[in-house]
Structure 1
Amino acid sequence: MDILKINGSGAERRTLAELDDLLGEDHGFVWVDIPVCDAEAVRVLTEVFGFHPLAVKDCTERNRVPKMHAYADHVFVVLHAPEPGDRGHVHYLEIDQFIGRNYLVTVHGPNNPAVSAEAAERETRAVGERLSNGRLLPATPADLSHAIVAALIRNQEEYVEHVTADVWRLEQQVTGGDVADPEAFLTALFRARHGLLTVRTMAALSQALYTHLAALPGLPAASRVSVDDTADRFTRVRRITDGQREYLQGVIGFYQSLLTLRSTMVGQTQNERVRELTEASYAQNEEVKKISAWAAIFFAPSLVAAVYGMNFEHMPELGWLLGYPFSLALMAAAGIALYWAFKRRGWL
């Protein structure tokens, strides 16, 4: 863990063995930054600082939502910063703070193993660099906490800027008709919305915590100013995120309208094709009817001719004078009868 003694002349790095003496000094204050809350860190938080067991437990476990507890001599705050992960996942980078009269203790994590230590310590490292080069000289632990939270808010804003760039790119794709893979495009849209919702939730919950903190009795006037400023900054992040989320929802709605229109047009084309096939099938059936009708009409005379062409010995019509005219008349009558029947049914 890193231990800094901060006073009017700057920041000086100290050791863990000096921590008890540093806390007893009446000038300046101490900043203890704990990258990982291991057994040694738990001992320091419990025995050296005497923090509440539940607060220490919160430092060893992941907290899904920001929280704040006000104790008699210090305030415990849990905040989150976003970190992009694989396939649109957003990691919650947790930073816990114990803000006392003459000390500030910051505890990182625990975080997802996929998150690098550099990303997890981004805010405190940036503030530490400002302390080391003299660009920041906080007068109180509350001032230092304000600087760290301001860095966290800037990271939230940068994440929103990153997602906004994706939103604009997606909007250009959909308006330009450059969507080759609709499934991948929809996935990108909903990943962007997920990122905006995540940061919006972080900012809204954090803003509520600092609004409540500003209303606590006994808060010094100087600290109240910084707390109000922090709450306003979280409110700004929430509003920016809401605006970008509404813009993205417009892109999603536009793309959904395009998909609906395309689906309707495809349906109309399919219906037209089905109609054409139905008409062709109907016309084909009509032709089959005609062919079948004429085949039946010509089959009847053939049947009569086939019977009389057998020349059996005991066929009485063979010796009949009117046999030939009768057979012709029978053929004609059968054909006419079938023609009339098919004509009546509309086959001819």
Structure 2
Amino acid sequence: MDVRLITEDGIEQRPAADLPALLADDTALIWVDVPSCDPTAAKVLRDVFKFHPMAVADCVERNRVPKVHAYPDHVFVVLHAPERGSRGHVHYLELDQFVGENYLVTVHGPLNPAVEPQAALRETGAVLARIESGRLRPRTPFDLSHAIASALTRNQEAYIETVTTDVWQLEQRVTGGNVGEPEEFLNELFRARHGLLAVRTMSALSSAIYGRMAAFTGISEDGHQRVADIADRFERVRSLADGEREYLQGVIEFYQTILVIKAALVGQAQNEEVKRLTEASYAQNEEVKKISAWAAILFAPALVGTVYGMNFEHMPETKWLLGYPAALAVMFIASFVLYRVFKRRGWL
């Protein structure tokens, strides 16, 4: 836990034991930054600052969405900043704030083990550097809270800028016909979309809670102006995310159209191949019909000739004067009948 006293001359580091005396001084501006709400820090929040147990529990546990609660002497705000993970995953870095009359307490929420600890301190570290360099001289807790929230919106914009770079590269690959493996490319498209949607959700919800905070009566006129400015900044981030998401959706639809056209062309080629094979099969069947028809026609004389060629002793046709002409007539008539039948059926 870092206890800091902000004065006109700069910023001073103080021990946690000085907190009761510093809080009793209405003219002091105190900034307490809690990198992780461990049991010791939670005890200070409950016993020294007298924060509501539910608010302290929100600091210990992870909150999925931004929120704001107004208490008689302070306002409790939960915000999120994006951090890019592996394969397009977006980590939500939680930053809780207690904005009181003469103090600001910033609590960094539970951190995913995959995220570097320094990433959670990005916004507060940037504001601390500005104060130490003399570029920022906050006069009230809302001034300090405004500076931290502004740094958070700038990081959200920077995240959108990073994703936008990816979107442009994806578009160039689509238009250049160099997408590689379609399934992996689609994964890249939807990972980019997921990143934009995550930041869009963060900024939209944050804008909503700051819009609600603007209606609180216990905030000074200057505080209302700061709150309205932060609400406007979050709204701008939401608009940027929406614009880039729509642009990316156009790239996705363009690529999907290309896939549909390619699939149609492949299907057409397959249909033509099937048609060609069908025609070849039909022609082959026609040839088989002709061969079968002629085989049947030629089989009739062969059948008669085979019977008459047996030459058994008791065959009456062997001594019949008209036997041979009759056999020839039967062969001719059988072949002629078969020919007419096959001709009528279109086999010949």
1:4 aligned residue: 4
TM-score (normalizing by structure 1) = 0.98
SS in 2 for 1:112: coil
Q: Distance in 2 between matches of 1:326 and 1:67?
A: 112
Identify the range of structure 1 (314-323 vs 37-46) with the bigger mean alpha-carbon deviation: 314-323
Q: Distance in 2 between matches of 1:167 and 1:24?
A: 53
1:298 aligned residue: 298
Shift of residue 136 of structure 1?
A: 1.3
2:63 aligned residue: 63
1:239 aligned residue: 239
Contact 1:293–1:347 (CA<8 Å) still a contact in 2? yes
Q: Distance in 2 between matches of 1:244 and 1:166?
A: 11
Identify the range of structure 1 (268-277 vs 193-202) with the bigger mean alpha-carbon deviation: 268-277
Q: Distance in 1 between matches of 2:26 and 2:212?
A: 30
Shift of residue 26 of structure 1?
A: 3.5
Task: List per-residue Cα deviations over 1:159-189 (Å, max 9, x = no partner).
Answer: 1111111111111111111122110011111
Identify the range of structure 1 (122-131 vs 320-329) with the bigger mean alpha-carbon deviation: 320-329
SS in 2 for 1:139: coil
Matching residue's letter, 1:317: E
1:257 aligned residue: 257
Identify the range of structure 1 (152-161 vs 107-116) with the bigger mean alpha-carbon deviation: 107-116
Q: Distance in 2 between matches of 1:69 and 1:90?
A: 26
Q: Are 1:222 and 2:222 an aligned pair?
A: yes
Q: Are 1:102 and 2:102 an aligned pair?
A: yes
Give me the identity figure in percent: 66
Contact 1:7–1:27 (CA<8 Å) still a contact in 2? no
1:30 aligned residue: 30
TM-score (normalizing by structure 2) = 0.98
1:86 aligned residue: 86
1:124 aligned residue: 124
SS in 1 for 2:227: helix
Q: Distance in 1 between matches of 2:28 and 2:48?
A: 18
Q: Distance in 1 between matches of 2:16 and 2:217?
A: 34
SS in 2 for 1:219: coil
Identify the range of structure 1 (91-100 vs 272-281) with the bigger mean alpha-carbon deviation: 272-281
1:16 aligned residue: 16
Task: List per-residue Cα deviations over 1:217-264 (Å, max 9, x = no partner).
Answer: 142121111111111100100001100011111111111111111111
2:52 aligned residue: 52
Shift of residue 321 of structure 1?
A: 1.9
Matching residue's letter, 1:300: A
Q: Distance in 1 between matches of 2:108 and 2:26?
A: 28
Q: Distance in 2 between matches of 1:93 and 1:55?
A: 18
Identify the range of structure 1 (161-170 vs 24-33) with the bigger mean alpha-carbon deviation: 24-33
Task: List per-residue Cα deviations over 1:181-206 (Å, max 9, x = no partner).
Answer: 11001111111111111100100010
Q: Distance in 2 between matches of 1:218 and 1:39?
A: 31
Shift of residue 27 of structure 1?
A: 2.7
2:338 aligned residue: 338
SS in 1 for 2:68: strand
1:151 aligned residue: 151
SS in 1 for 2:216: coil
Matching residue's letter, 1:176: G
2:193 aligned residue: 193
Contact 1:99–1:145 (CA<8 Å) still a contact in 2? yes
**Structure 1 unmatched runs, 5+:** none
- Number of equivalent positions: 348
1:197-212 equivalence runs, <5 A:
197-212=197-212
Q: Distance in 1 between matches of 2:347 and 2:129?
A: 97
**Structure 2 unmatched runs, 5+:** none
SS in 2 for 1:149: helix
2:72 aligned residue: 72
Computed over aligned residues only, the root mean square deviation of the Cα atoms, in angstroms, reads 1.0
Contact 1:8–1:28 (CA<8 Å) still a contact in 2? no
SS in 1 for 2:97: strand
Shift of residue 87 of structure 1?
A: 2.2
Q: Distance in 1 between matches of 2:219 and 2:317?
A: 132
Matching residue's letter, 1:130: R
2:141 aligned residue: 141
Q: Distance in 2 between matches of 1:58 and 1:234?
A: 22
Task: List per-residue Cα deviations over 1:32-88 (Å, max 9, x = no partner).
Answer: 000010111011101110011111111000000000011111110000000111222
1:281 aligned residue: 281
Contact 2:111–2:117 (CA<8 Å) still a contact in 1? no
SS in 1 for 2:135: coil
Q: Distance in 2 between matches of 1:131 and 1:293?
A: 104
Task: List per-residue Cα deviations over 1:96-135 (Å, max 9, x = no partner).
Answer: 0000111110000112121111011111111111111211
Contact 1:206–1:231 (CA<8 Å) still a contact in 2? yes
Matching residue's letter, 1:157: E
Matching residue's letter, 1:71: Y
Contact 1:167–1:248 (CA<8 Å) still a contact in 2? yes
SS in 2 for 1:105: strand
SS in 2 for 1:137: coil
